[in-house]
């Protein structure tokens, strides 16, 4: 596993991970149903601030999670240790928790039967796995060099991951992946202009940090000396990264069927039940999660081995699916639960005319161009957000950007602006990775106040 | 201590090869019996193997020419249970064992960490950290020199608790939790079918060892209780929503006493009543109001607009691409000169608050936290720093006859993450006079009272805020509480907001509340405790966002 002293990027091969999983299973009560999840990830970070590298980090983080079902009770034990004592400890924690006490019977969780999973193309890159410290430094140095004359801060992160799930029914599923991201903020020396850009990759060869720096400095330069516009409802042109965090928060917290049934999610229907089958977004938009997505692949199963099949959560604007656990799967006569991978693509309907950001500007009478928004919940249950624009906001008039404007606070949600859609573009991989998001132009975005600061 | 990664892989494969593990993963040897005799938690305190691992890392770092090194080792255990109504959703016991090594080579930082707990790995990680640092091209041009700090050769500390939660089982925890939920279920079954109850109980214990090349060796055991216990109700038309927690539910530096023997029955009904009251709240009329904030509401806005702005790395621009910058800079222009224009505003750091979440005896650099002033009578007089940053304030400390050094406010969410500036406890002092919330309400003609902790959304430079309530908010008319309000929000510029504070509660209104910070790459979420009194703010811009 170790290539040389000081090497980075070690993960577990399938054989190594399987050996740990099998050993863990050997410690388990033969009468229990047991799932073992083994992972080892290597995370590498280069932090940039004040135009220099401030911190270089490398972390190898292992973990084993044991899920046990005994007498109808489900419990988990986890450890970061790969030695026998650590593995036994995780098994014992789970089994001691499940063996007795309250609960039982109603806790459903069938084991996934042995099966084959597809290997998503592009999810693993040898080039990324082989990156050594000087490679990261070289990339960071080029970005910093390119931002000369500006104050720059950012981060270059790589993650090399391995994960294996095995269970007492004989399932063995292995997945490895390489991901990375580069983000850079640049501000002008007079402190009036600020720009930001980011890019996610799977293959380090595509990590063009110079392009990221160029985009950030260009935005900083063009946003010097902004002037205010009256806060009001405006047409907005949103770059994908401006609203990607909203999509992520929706996927994380609102896609669960039981929450919607109980009324706690944005997909609860006011008249009872859920909004499944109802229109929730513009009919030109679909939300689809697919581990085989050629632009944003991810591991094809969850921590318990539940397959991530290609799933349309929203199809042509209509809510089609919400995720559910095994109790619902059994009720519906399904082999396994509908798991939510969080990663998602917003796909424009076939035949929709796709505009570039430039074309959205050229065809806009009056609007605001937004690079980036801070995003916090204003109302969790209704999925309404508040925050401010940052790092490059401009007024668009009669088909062109006319001037940089001061930052503004907003209170709004993609639940609204993806219904007020004027134009949509080709989805791109968000700077955080994991999400394929198109640029959009929408009516009536709600700006509530000036936030006069850079 | 001689187990290596290759060993376990080999032995695992050997077992499989020997046919001892069937394809169904079950082994037919006495391994199962061996598993019964496990060690429940790996304590680090007073463990010679742990000291040996730390010393191996420090020696390996020394051998490759580092000028400074520190190692942090964590062994933790957590026990979390979630119950929704009467249904158990989660039973989990988690263990962690990891370490991180930070080094300076030629004045640049390198950091590496691992979960393989062997001396061989400790040496590898130390060399890897050194290699990270030595390849940084800025290392030899902008040298980092750490502020001197007292060596703590053999420090030991443990969060004071009354009852060790690890003497109880997860079943005991679940039973208490089911009893708590049952109190609400009984009310629901007595004619309130909209009522739901959720609870999560989360006990954790973390042993953390810090060792530095300067000779410090500290061992700390942190206990914490976290979680929630919430009664929630949704109106039949699902348009309105209310939730509240019994006031007797407390989180922080607690042991088993957090959940055992608590008379929840005494105030659970009040929590339910409040949740129902929120369903009937009306939206406020948009306009300008005097706003009375309870201690929790002041605490959250204080943390978001002042405490975080006092973090020196943020002031320097280390978070510019992420969380943002700070209006409290540059230091040479701000220290002693920047004023909030309000002599009632006093903010300080402190190291010791009983039951405070995140309290430590030594910080993530082995420095004891000090009690010191950051904002005195409205004027900025110091920052939260670390050993790296404190020397940059040497000019200021000298001028004021103060020692140059870290005040013990370096933090980290884990030993696998680098240290950042993150104080654990910050306090806004109450007024000296015994002014109560009732006094402030009585003195207010046309206002809004935010009783509970709320949320704050602040822009990246922390200059423009939107504050909102959680829990109960009332209108104030002629010195009296009026209607309950739904989702009032106040909008302000940070400086205008603190300048507008014209009444400050006395010691009886003061309370500690959970807060936190997010910073670093990868992002670290670091909890903290923020103490504040109640206070009144004049003429704030209040609005609401209704339904669309």
Test the B interface: residue of A4, A20, A48, A81 with most B CBs within 10 Å: A81
Give residue B5's pLDDT.
Answer: 33
Tell me if B28 is assigned to some domain.
Answer: no
- The answer to whether residue A452 neighbours chain B at the CB level (below 8 Å) is yes
Higher pLDDT, A271 or A5: A271
Of the residues B265, B280, B295, the one at which a domain ends: B280
Residues B161-199: pLDDT tens digits? 999 999 999 999 999 999 999 999 999 999 999 999 999
The CA-atom distances, in angstroms, between A339 and each of A329, A377, B52, B519, B520 are 11, 24, 45, 31, 31
Q: Determine the distance in angstroms separating the CA of B489 from the nearest CA of chain A, rounded to an integer.
A: 10
Q: Are residues B260 and B293 part of one domain?
A: no
Tell me if B154 is assigned to some domain.
Answer: yes
Q: Are residues B203 and B344 part of one domain?
A: no
Tell me if B9 is assigned to some domain.
Answer: no
Q: Which domain holds residue B136?
A: 40-280
In this predicted structure, the answer to whether residue A325 has a pLDDT above a threshold of 90 is yes
Average pLDDT score over residue span B46-59: 93
Average pLDDT score over residue span B351-358: 91
**Residue B27 with chain A: CB contacts under 8 Å:** 23, 25-27
Q: Are residues B375 and B487 part of one domain?
A: yes
B516 pLDDT band, cuts 50/70/90, is confident
Distance of alpha carbon A57 from alpha carbon A60, whole angstroms: 10
Distance of alpha carbon A107 from alpha carbon A113, whole angstroms: 19
Q: Find the farthest-apart pair of alpha carbons in chain A and give their distance in angstroms, rounded.
A: 72
Residue among B360, B366, B404 at smallest CA distance from B382: B404
Give residue B11's pLDDT.
Answer: 37
Higher pLDDT, B80 or B10: B80
Partners of B373 in the β-ladder: B348
Tell me if B6 is assigned to some domain.
Answer: no
HSE at residue B521, side-chain half, CA atoms within 13 A, is 33
Q: Tell me if B25 and A168 make a contact (CB, 8 A cut-off).
A: yes
The two three-digit tokens of residue A203, written as one number = 């293959």
Residue among A68, A78, A77 at smallest CA distance from A99: A68
Per-window interface: A 258-277 vs B, CB < 8 A: 262-264, 268-272
**What phi, psi does A241 have (nearest 5°)?**
-70, -15
Residues A209-238: pLDDT tens digits? 999 999 999 999 999 999 999 999 999 999
In this predicted structure, the answer to whether residue B30 has a pLDDT above a threshold of 60 is no
Question: What's the ipTM?
Answer: 0.95
Tell me if B330 is assigned to some domain.
Answer: yes
In this predicted structure, the answer to whether residue B20 has a pLDDT above a threshold of 90 is no
Residues A9-27: pLDDT tens digits? 689 999 999 999 999 999 9
Distance of alpha carbon B404 from alpha carbon B396, whole angstroms: 9
A106 pLDDT band, cuts 50/70/90, is low
In this predicted structure, the answer to whether residue B22 has a pLDDT above a threshold of 50 is no
Distance of alpha carbon B392 from alpha carbon B312, whole angstroms: 10
Q: Are residues B263 and B343 part of one domain?
A: no
Q: Determine the distance in angstroms separating the CA of A92 from the nearest CA of chain B, rounded to an integer.
A: 7
The two three-digit tokens of residue A392, written as one number = 């490059």
Q: Are residues B303 and B245 part of one domain?
A: no
Q: Tell me if A19 and B9 make a contact (CB, 8 A cut-off).
A: yes
**Residue B131 with chain A: CB contacts under 8 Å:** 6, 133
Cβ-in-10-Å burial (0-12, 13-18, 19+) of A170 comes to: middle
- The answer to whether residue A167 neighbours chain B at the CB level (below 8 Å) is yes
Distance of alpha carbon B544 from alpha carbon A220, whole angstroms: 33
- The answer to whether residue A72 neighbours chain B at the CB level (below 8 Å) is no
* Coil, strand or helix at A300: coil
Which string of b and e fits A408-441 if b means at least 16 CB within 10 Å? bbbbbbbbbbbbbbbbbbebbbbbbbbbbbbbbb
* Coil, strand or helix at A22: helix
In this predicted structure, the answer to whether residue B76 has a pLDDT above a threshold of 50 is yes
Residues B270-306: pLDDT tens digits? 999 999 999 999 999 999 999 999 999 999 999 999 9
In this predicted structure, the answer to whether residue B8 has a pLDDT above a threshold of 80 is no
Question: Which of B9, B20, B464 is closest, CB to CB, to A451?
Answer: B464
A8 pLDDT band, cuts 50/70/90, is low
Average pLDDT score over residue span A325-353: 97
B546 pLDDT band, cuts 50/70/90, is low
Give residue B328's pLDDT.
Answer: 98
- Asked if B177 and B81 count as a contact pair (C-beta separation under 8 A), the reply is yes
% helix, strand, coil for chain A, step of 5: 20, 40, 40
Percent of chain A with pLDDT over 70: 98
The per-residue DSSP string of A216-267 comes to: HHHHHHHTSS-B----SEEEEEE-HHHHHHHHHHHHHHS-BHHHHHHT-STT
Average pLDDT score over residue span B231-237: 90
Residues A369-416: pLDDT tens digits? 999 999 999 989 999 999 999 999 999 999 999 999 999 999 999 999
- Asked if A235 and A442 count as a contact pair (C-beta separation under 8 A), the reply is yes
In this predicted structure, the answer to whether residue B14 has a pLDDT above a threshold of 70 is no
Q: Are residues B226 and B88 part of one domain?
A: yes
Q: Are residues B124 and B73 part of one domain?
A: yes
The per-residue DSSP string of B284-331 comes to: PPSEEEEEEE-HHHHHHHHIIIIIGGGBHHHHHTTTTTTT---SS--H
Of the residues B225, B245, B280, the one at which a domain ends: B280
Q: Are residues B129 and B155 part of one domain?
A: yes
Average pLDDT score over residue span B413-421: 97
**Residue A371 with chain B: CB contacts under 8 Å:** none
- The answer to whether residue A92 neighbours chain B at the CB level (below 8 Å) is yes
- Asked if A306 and A339 count as a contact pair (C-beta separation under 8 A), the reply is yes
Q: Are residues B115 and B50 part of one domain?
A: yes
Average pLDDT score over residue span A290-295: 98
% helix, strand, coil for chain B, step of 5: 25, 35, 40
- The answer to whether residue B178 neighbours chain A at the CB level (below 8 Å) is yes
Q: Is residue A51 left, alpha or beta, with left meaning phi > 0 and alpha meaning psi from -120 to 50?
A: left
Q: Are residues B314 and B270 part of one domain?
A: no
Give residue B15's pLDDT.
Answer: 36
Q: Are strands B425-428 and B524-532 parallel, antiparallel or unpaired?
A: parallel
Per-window interface: B 349-408 vs A, CB < 8 A: none
The sign of the dihedral angle between the CA atoms of B429, B434, B438, B441 is negative
Distance of alpha carbon B545 from alpha carbon A300, whole angstroms: 40
Chains A, B: CB contacts within 8 A come to 324
Test the B interface: residue of A28, A60, A264, A447 with most B CBs within 10 Å: A60
Q: Residue B126: give its domain's CATH number.
A: 3.30.2290.10
**Residue B3 with chain A: CB contacts under 8 Å:** 83
Q: A14-219 — its CATH code?
A: 3.30.2290.10
In this predicted structure, the answer to whether residue A3 has a pLDDT above a threshold of 70 is no
Give residue B45's pLDDT.
Answer: 78
Give residue B469's pLDDT.
Answer: 82
Give residue B260's pLDDT.
Answer: 94
Give residue B296's pLDDT.
Answer: 95
Give residue B376's pLDDT.
Answer: 98
Tell me if B133 is assigned to some domain.
Answer: yes
B40 pLDDT band, cuts 50/70/90, is low
* Coil, strand or helix at A270: coil
Of the residues B253, B280, B307, the one at which a domain ends: B280
Number of H-type helices and E-type strands within chain A: 10, 20
Average pLDDT score over residue span A112-119: 97
Average pLDDT score over residue span A353-372: 98
Residues B196-216: pLDDT tens digits? 999 999 999 999 999 999 999
Question: How many domains, in total, are found in chain B?
Answer: 2
First to last CA, chain B: 63
Q: What count of other Cβ atoms lies within 10 Å of the Cβ of residue B32?
A: 17
**Cis peptide bond N-terminal to B61, omega within 30:** no
Average pLDDT score over residue span B436-456: 95
Domain ranges of chain A: 14-219, 226-454
Distance of alpha carbon B519 from alpha carbon B318, whole angstroms: 9
- The answer to whether residue B2 neighbours chain A at the CB level (below 8 Å) is no
Give residue B4's pLDDT.
Answer: 35
Q: Are residues B449 and B368 part of one domain?
A: yes
**Residue A50 with chain B: CB contacts under 8 Å:** 316-318
Percent of chain B with pLDDT over 90: 83
Q: Tell me if A57 and B418 make a contact (CB, 8 A cut-off).
A: yes
Q: Are residues B386 and B525 part of one domain?
A: yes
In this predicted structure, the answer to whether residue B395 has a pLDDT above a threshold of 90 is yes
């Amino acid at each position: 596993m170790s290539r040389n002293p000081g090497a980075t990027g070690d993960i577990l091969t399938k054989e190594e991970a399987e050996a740990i999983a099998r050993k863990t299973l050997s410690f388990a009560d033969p009468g229990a149903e047991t799932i073992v999840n083994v992972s080892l990830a290597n995370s590498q970070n280069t932090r940039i601030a004040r135009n220099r590298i401030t911190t270089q980090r490398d972390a190898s983080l292992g973990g084993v999670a044991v899920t046990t079902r005994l007498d109808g009770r489900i419990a988990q034990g986890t450890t970061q240790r790969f030695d026998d004592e650590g593995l036994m400890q995780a098994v014992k924690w789970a089994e001691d928790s499940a063996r007795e006490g309250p609960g039982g019977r109603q806790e459903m969780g069938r084991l996934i039967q042995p099966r084959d999973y597809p290997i998503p193309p592009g999810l693993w890159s040898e080039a990324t796995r082989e990156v050594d410290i000087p490679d990261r430094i070289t990339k960071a140095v080029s970005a910093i060099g390119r931002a000369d004359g500006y104050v720059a801060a950012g981060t270059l992160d790589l993650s090399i991951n391995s994960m294996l799930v095995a269970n007492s029914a004989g399932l063995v599923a292995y997945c490895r992946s390489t991901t990375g991201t580069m983000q850079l903020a640049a501000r002008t020396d007079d402190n009036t202009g600020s720009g930001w850009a980011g890019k996610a990759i799977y293959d380090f060869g595509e990590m063009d940090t110079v392009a990221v720096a160029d985009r950030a400095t260009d935005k900083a330069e063009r946003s010097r000396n902004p002037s205010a516009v009256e806060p009001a409802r405006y047409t907005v042109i949103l770059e994908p990264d401006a609203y990607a965090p909203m999509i992520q928060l929706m996927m994380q917290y609102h896609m669960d069927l039981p929450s919607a049934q109980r009324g706690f999610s944005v997909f609860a229907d006011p008249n009872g039940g859920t909004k499944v089958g109802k229109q929730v977004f513009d009919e030109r938009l679909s939300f689809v999660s697919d581990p085989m997505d050629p632009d944003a692949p991810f591991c094809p199963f969850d921590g318990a081995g539940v397959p991530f099949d290609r799933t349309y959560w929203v199809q042509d604007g209509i809510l089609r699916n919400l995720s559910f656990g095994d109790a619902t799967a059994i009720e519906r006569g399904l082999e396994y639960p509908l798991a939510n991978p969080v990663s998602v693509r917003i796909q424009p309907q076939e035949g929709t005319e796709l505009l570039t950001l430039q074309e959205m500007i050229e065809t806009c009478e009056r609007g605001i161009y937004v690079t980036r928004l801070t995003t916090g919940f204003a109302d969790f249950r209704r999925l309404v957000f508040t925050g401010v624009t940052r790092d490059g906001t401009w007024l668009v008039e009669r088909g062109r950007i006319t001037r940089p404007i001061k930052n503004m606070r907003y209170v709004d949600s993609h639940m609204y602006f993806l219904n007020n859609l004027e134009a949509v573009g080709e989805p791109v991989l968000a700077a955080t990775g994991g999400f394929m998001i198109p640029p959009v132009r929408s009516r009536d975005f709600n700006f509530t106040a000036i936030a006069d600061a850079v | 201590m001689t187990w290596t990664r290759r060993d376990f892989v080999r032995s695992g494969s050997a077992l499989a090869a020997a046919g001892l593990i069937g394809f169904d993963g079950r082994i037919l040897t006495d391994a199962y019996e061996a598993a019964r005799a496990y060690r429940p938690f790996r304590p680090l305190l007073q463990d010679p193997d742990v000291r040996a691992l730390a010393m191996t890392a420090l020696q390996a770092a020394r051998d490759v020419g580092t000028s400074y090194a520190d190692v942090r080792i964590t062994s933790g255990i957590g026990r979390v249970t979630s119950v929704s109504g009467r249904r158990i959703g989660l039973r989990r016991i988690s263990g962690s064992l990891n370490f991180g090594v930070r080094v300076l080579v030629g004045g640049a930082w390198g950091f590496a960490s691992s979960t393989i707990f062997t001396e061989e790995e400790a040496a590898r990680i130390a060399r890897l950290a050194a290699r990270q640092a030595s390849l940084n091209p800025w290392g030899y041009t902008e040298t980092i020199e750490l502020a001197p700090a007292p060596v703590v050769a053999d420090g030991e500390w443990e969060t004071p608790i009354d009852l060790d939660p690890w003497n109880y089982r997860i079943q005991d925890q679940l039973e208490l939790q089911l009893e708590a939920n049952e109190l609400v279920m009984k009310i629901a079954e007595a004619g309130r079918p909209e009522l739901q109850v959720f609870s999560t109980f989360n006990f954790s214990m973390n042993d953390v060892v810090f060792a530095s090349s300067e000779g410090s060796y500290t061992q700390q055991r942190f206990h914490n209780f976290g979680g929630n216990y919430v009664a929630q109700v949704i109106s039949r038309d699902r348009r309105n929503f209310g939730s509240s927690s019994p006031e007797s539910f407390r989180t922080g530096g607690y042991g088993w006493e957090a959940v055992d023997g608590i008379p929840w029955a005494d105030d659970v009904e009040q929590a339910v009543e409040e949740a129902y009251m929120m369903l009937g709240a009306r939206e406020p009329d948009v306009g300008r109001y005097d706003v009375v904030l309870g201690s929790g509401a002041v605490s959250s806005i204080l943390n978001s607009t002042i405490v975080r702005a006092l973090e020196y790395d943020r002031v320097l621009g280390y978070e510019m691409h992420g969380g943002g910058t700070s209006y409290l800079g540059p230091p040479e222009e701000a220290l002693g000169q920047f004023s909030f224009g309000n002599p009632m505003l006093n903010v300080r750091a402190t190291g010791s608050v009983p039951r405070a979440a995140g309290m430590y005896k030594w910080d993530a650099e082995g420095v004891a936290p000090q009690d010191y002033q950051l904002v005195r009578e409205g004027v900025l007089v110091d920052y939260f720093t670390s050993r790296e940053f404190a020397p940059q304030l040497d000019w200021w400390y000298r001028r004021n006859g103060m020692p140059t050094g870290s005040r013990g406010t370096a933090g980290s969410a884990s030993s696998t993450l680098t240290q950042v500036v993150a104080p654990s406890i910050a306090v806004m002092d109450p007024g000296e006079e015994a002014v109560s919330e009732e006094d402030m309400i009585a003195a207010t003609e046309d206002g809004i009272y935010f009783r509970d902790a709320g949320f704050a959304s602040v822009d990246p430079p922390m200059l423009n805020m939107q504050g909102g309530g959680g829990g109960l908010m009332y209108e104030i008319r002629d010195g009296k509480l009026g209607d309950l309000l739904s989702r009032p929000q106040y909008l302000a510029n940070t400086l205008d907001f603190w300048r507008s504070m014209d009444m400050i509660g006395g010691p009886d209104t003061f309370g500690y509340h959970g807060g936190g910070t997010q910073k670093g790459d990868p992002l670290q979420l670091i909890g903290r405790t923020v103490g504040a009194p109640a206070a009144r703010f004049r003429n704030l811009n209040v609005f609401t966002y209704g339904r669309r």
